[in-house]
């Protein structure tokens, strides 16, 4: 833990130094890191007066899953979700409410609802229900480089990615360097199998988690991020802390995006997992882009070592400014011989 904190502080010093040397200002968020910044101020959307905007998307996915040993329960499926974000700007106070309706299920309608107070251009305090920041993938479907997220099989997230938690977060961003420190309720995954319990609700007295992340934009387009999270595990009847380390490096010189990510989760009780991702995306034109992604997942569970390799090819078509049509094929080679083949066709309407 001390090594993690020391490294994050080193990144903070380096980021501040680079910002001073290069004349980097807080207004350069579009060319800098977004971590810790006030993204509410620059959010696009449908303006309802001077202080409120609406944005969102409708996501429809047709999927076909095929497993070599015929264990897949639902081989063909159609899922739909609708997302609506309410953006409020009453500077220095801003707020966001994110609503999501999936397959007509309103039980987890509220994704995020948080307020933010900006002390100045660089330092902000957020409080309420908000998304965690560890992991390269976005929590929003219209901000992904493929139809599915990296660490997924079928429609299930295998290891924790972005999650919605209740708590408070300190945020700092000077354009080139970003830092967050959050204290919130327990992470929503079961350490017995590593599965993410999406949008499940836990009270603060059922477990407390701490996360810290730092990001440095060495120059416009090249960003490195390091994050650490610790969960006391009380929500699952365990005395072992659950810890996660996530780091990634991304380069975006224009139409090309390259990324590499490493993720390690220590679940206690002789259980841990690590994941490795390589991603390349190229936007050939305004109409067409493509993503090639490789992911290795390795989990140790009570002496058993479970490994898999997943390769994804996604073809991304921008039909109009507000409508995308995306195709994905993913092949997973599981340790033990049974392979998974996944096909996805996605229609995405954004506004």
CATH number (domain holding residue 240)? 2.40.160.10
For residue 144, the model assigns a pLDDT of 95
* Predicted confidence (pLDDT) per residue in 190-248, tens digit: 444 444 444 444 444 456 889 999 999 999 999 999 999 988 765 445 556 788 999 99
Residue located via tokens 């107070």:
117
Distance CA 332, CA 153 (A): 8
How many folded domains does the chain comprise? 1
Q: Which residues contact 331 (CB under 8 A, 6 or more apart)?
A: 310, 311, 339, 340, 341, 342
For residue 309, the model assigns a pLDDT of 93
Distance CA 222, CA 172 (A): 19
For residue 16, the model assigns a pLDDT of 45
Mean pLDDT score, 9-29: 42
- Kindly report the three-state secondary structure assignment for every residue of 230-246: EECCHHHCCCCCEEEEE
- Tell me, what DSSP letter sits at residue 2? H
Q: How many CA atoms lie within 13 A of 107 on its CB side?
A: 6
Q: What residues make up the domain containing 41?
A: 2-350
The larger pLDDT score, comparing residue 289 to residue 105, is at 289
Is the entire prediction scored with pTM above 0.75? yes
* Predicted confidence (pLDDT) per residue in 134-185, tens digit: 999 999 999 999 999 998 766 566 666 788 889 999 999 998 999 999 999 8
For residue 307, the model assigns a pLDDT of 86
Decide if pLDDT at 126 tops 50: yes
């Amino acid at each position: 833990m001390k090594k993690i904190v020391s490294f994050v502080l080193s990144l903070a010093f380096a980021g501040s130094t680079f910002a001073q040397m290069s004349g980097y200002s807080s207004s350069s968020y579009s060319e800098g890191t977004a971590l810790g910044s006030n993204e509410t101020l620059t959010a696009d959307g449908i303006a309802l007066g001077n202080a409120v905007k609406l944005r969102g998307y409708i996501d429809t996915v047709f999927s076909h899953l095929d497993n070599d040993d015929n264990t897949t329960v639902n081989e063909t499926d159609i899922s739909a979700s609708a997302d609506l974000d309410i953006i409020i700007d009453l500077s220095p106070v801003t707020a966001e409410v994110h609503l999501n309706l999936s397959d007509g299920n309103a039980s987890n309608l509220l994704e995020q609802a948080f307020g933010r107070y900006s002390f100045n251009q660089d330092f902000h305090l957020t409080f309420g229900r908000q998304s965690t920041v560890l992991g390269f993938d976005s929590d929003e479907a219209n901000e992904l480089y493929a139809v599915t997220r990296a660490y997924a099989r079928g429609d299930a997230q295998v290891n924790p990615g972005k999650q919605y938690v209740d708590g408070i977060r300190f945020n700092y961003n000077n354009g080139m360097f970003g830092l967050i420190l959050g204290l919130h309720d327990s992470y929503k995954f079961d350490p017995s199998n590593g599965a993410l319990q999406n949008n499940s609700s836990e009270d603060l007295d059922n477990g407390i988690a701490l996360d810290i992340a730092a990001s440095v934009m060495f120059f416009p387009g090249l960003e490195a991020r390091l994050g650490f999270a610790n969960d006391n595990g009380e929500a699952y009847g365990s005395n072992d802390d659950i810890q996660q380390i996530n780091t990634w490096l991304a380069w975006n010189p224009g139409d090309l995006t390259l990324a590499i990510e490493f993720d390690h989760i220590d679940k206690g009780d002789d259980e841990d997992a690590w994941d490795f991702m390589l991603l390349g995306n190229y936007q050939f034109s305004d109409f067409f882009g493509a993503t090639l992604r490789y992911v290795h997942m390795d989990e140790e569970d009570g002496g058993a070592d479970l490994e898999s390799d997943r390769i994804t090819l996604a073809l991304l078509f921008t039909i109009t400014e507000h409508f995308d049509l995306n195709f994905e094929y993913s092949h997973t080679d599981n340790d033990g011989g049974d392979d998974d083949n996944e096909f996805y066709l996605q229609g995405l309407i954004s506004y």
